[in-house]
């Protein structure tokens, strides 16, 4: 049975949306041309994510570790999501040089909200190849980000390759995940 996957994102400047589209296209090919719809959380309630077995959330960090505006306006809705047993992956955008003390903080904040919802989090990403001082998006051992971390401001030339590798990693992790029937 094919997994029922969707991408939910918030995007002010379209970069998080464009990254989501690349993830969508890459995963669709890697998983056998399945349909992976995308939902802008400005237009679709987060509770719609409950309809899917696998949910990919996209978020960007603004300024000094702040949430993107669409995520900020729906932040309290996360607590009421029923995601137990669902598989969740995250991707985030940030500026590691301009905001080195807050790189990917929103990604880490979203992870912290989701981890208490009893979902299976996948797609952790190595933190090598980045230059930053601090991040709320690092795992406890500081070896990984809690999701794919992109910096289209300073490392745009690496984004496509990172997306490709992350999607391959996700495809492998999803192959091992127990997906409940829709």
CA–CA gap between residue 161 and residue 106 (Å, rounded): 23
The pLDDT of residue 32: 84
| Of the options 1.10.10.1200, 3.40.50.360, 3.40.50.300, 3.20.20.150, the CATH number for the domain spanning 5-176 | 3.40.50.360
The pLDDT of residue 1: 61
Q: Rounded mean pLDDT of the chain? A: 94
DSSP-derived letter for residue 71 is H
Please write the tens of the pLDDT for every residue from 29-70.
998 878 999 999 999 999 999 999 999 999 999 999 999 999
* pTM (global) more than 0.85: yes
């Amino acid at each position: 049975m094919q997994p029922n996957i969707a991408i939910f994102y918030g995007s002010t400047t379209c970069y998080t949306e464009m990254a989501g589209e690349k993830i969508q296209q890459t995963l669709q090919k890697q998983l056998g041309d399945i349909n992976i719809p995308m939902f802008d959380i400005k237009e679709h309630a987060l509770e719609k994510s409950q309809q899917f077995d696998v949910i990919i959330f996209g978020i960007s960090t603004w300024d000094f570790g702040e949430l993107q505006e669409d995520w900020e306006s729906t932040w309290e809705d996360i607590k009421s999501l029923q995601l137990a047993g669902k598989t969740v992956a995250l991707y985030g955008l940030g500026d590691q040089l301009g905001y080195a003390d807050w790189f990917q903080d929103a990604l880490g904040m979203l992870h912290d909200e989701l981890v208490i919802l009893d979902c299976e989090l996948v797609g952790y990403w190595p933190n090598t190849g980045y230059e930053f001082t601090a991040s709320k998006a690092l795992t406890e051992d500081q070896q990984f980000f809690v999701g794919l971390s992109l910096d289209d401001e300073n490392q745009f030339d690496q984004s496509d390759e990172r997306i490709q590798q992350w999607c391959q990693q996700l495809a492998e992790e999803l192959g091992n995940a127990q997906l409940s029937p829709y």
